[in-house]
Amino acid sequence: MSIEIESLVYRFPNGVTALDGVSLRIDAGERVAIAGQNGAGKTTLVRHLNGIVKPTSGTVTVDGWNTADHSTAQLAAKVGYLFQNPDQQLFARTVRQDVEFGPRNLGYADSRRTELVSWALEATGLTDRADSHPYELSLSDRKRVALAAVLAMDTPIVVLDEPTTGQDHNAVGNIASIIANLHEQGKTVVAITHDMDFCAENFDRTIFLAQGRIITDAPTTEAFTKDAAVNAAALESPQILRLTKALSHPPATTVDQFIESTMG
Ligand SMILES: Nc1ncnc2c1ncn2[C@@H]1O[C@H](COP(=O)(O)OP(=O)(O)O)[C@@H](O)[C@H]1O
Ligand SMILES: [Mg+2]
């Protein structure tokens, strides 16, 4: 269930080049974060994974399928995609109907669907809101409905476009637990994030994107210790890394690494 992207170029009809030669490979079970300034091309890149967007040139292959030859409906069995803007994703009259749509469409048996929907609502803290109309909910709650809808599809690849934006501290903790759970199930998780602490704590590998190109693609700690790459992508390092640098400690990007290097 690998993802292979070869020399991907994407140009919008108005002439804007959003992706300018991106190549990368993601293996099954990896946890990969994508970071970069607004307009770097992050959303356009991940939209290629479920085929909403098709390459202008180059290829995107998901589990052996060239996405140019498969519909978004076909790719939906392999790749779940959380939209950056939930209002582009939700359309049903109740939260439960929105969350049920994917597994129903994928033809899952009733018992499996019921179990997945209950789990997805519980994991996102929405069980009590299952019968609400999505538009009665705040934007941050709607984003979690959209996340639940993706989780309920039980796809081997889960792509999250800014899952923590607008979420409070508890919700961010829930999303971290969800990512850990997906990882334990052996799924591949690819997420775009602006929260560098969240990135460092939850992803083994990080890709920095700027102006449609990959600036760096490395294990997360290594990516953030390359000052030139962090600057080129106009990012800020995780707080722990800034702290360890200021204290002249060995570099650490997570609380666990810091404790290990300080105690050990
Ligand atoms: N529908 C569109 N039409 C034309 N240009 C677009 C469209 N959507 C995005 N862009 C442009 O493509 C580039 C990449 O955008 P996007 O992939 O949304 O970046 P990011 O997710 O990193 O903020 C930006 O320059 C953006 O302005
Ligand atoms: Mg985006």
Report the atom number in ligand 1 closest to the C-alpha of 44: 17
Output the CA 19–ligand 1 centroid distance in Å. 9
Domains of the chain (ranges, CATH numbers): 3-78+155-263 (3.40.50.300)
Q: Spell out the residues 6+ positions from residue 74 whose beta carbon is closer than 8 angstroms to its own.
A: 51, 65
Q: Is 14 in the pocket of ligand 1 (CB under 6 A)?
A: yes
Whose C-alpha lies nearest to ligand 1, atom 3? 12
Q: Which amino acid is at 238?
A: P
Distance (Å, whole) CA 203 – CA 33? 6
Atom 18, ligand 1: residue with shortest CA distance: 43
**Mutational pocket test of ligand 1: of 8, 16, 38, 49, the residue with most ligand atoms within 8 Å of the beta carbon:** 16
Give the number of the ligand closest to the Cα of residue 44: 1
* pLDDT score of 59: 98
Ligand 1 binding pocket includes 18 (Cβ within 6 Å): yes
- Cβ of 12 closer than 6 Å to ligand 1, yes or no, is yes
Please name the helix (run of DSSP H) or strand (run of DSSP E) that holds residue 158, with its range, or none: strand 157-161
What local confidence, expressed as pLDDT, does residue 1 receive?
86
CA of 256 to the centre of ligand 1 (A): 36
DSSP string covering 195-220: -HHHHHHH-SEEEEEETTEEEEEEEH
Cβ partners under 8 Å of residue 123, min gap 6: 148, 151, 174, 177, 178, 181
List, as ranges, residues with CB under 5 A of the ion ligand 2: 42-43, 84
Mean pLDDT for each consecutive 10-residue tract of the chain (264 residues)? Answer: 97 97 98 97 98 98 98 96 95 97 96 98 97 95 97 98 95 96 98 96 97 97 93 92 91 91 78
- Atom of ligand 1 at shortest distance to CA of 192? 21
Pick the residue whose CA is nearest to atom 14 on ligand 1. 41
In this structure, what DSSP letter does residue 174 have? H
- Residue 212 CA: which ligand 1 atom is closest? 14
Find the 13 Cα to ligand 1 centroid distance in Å.
Answer: 12
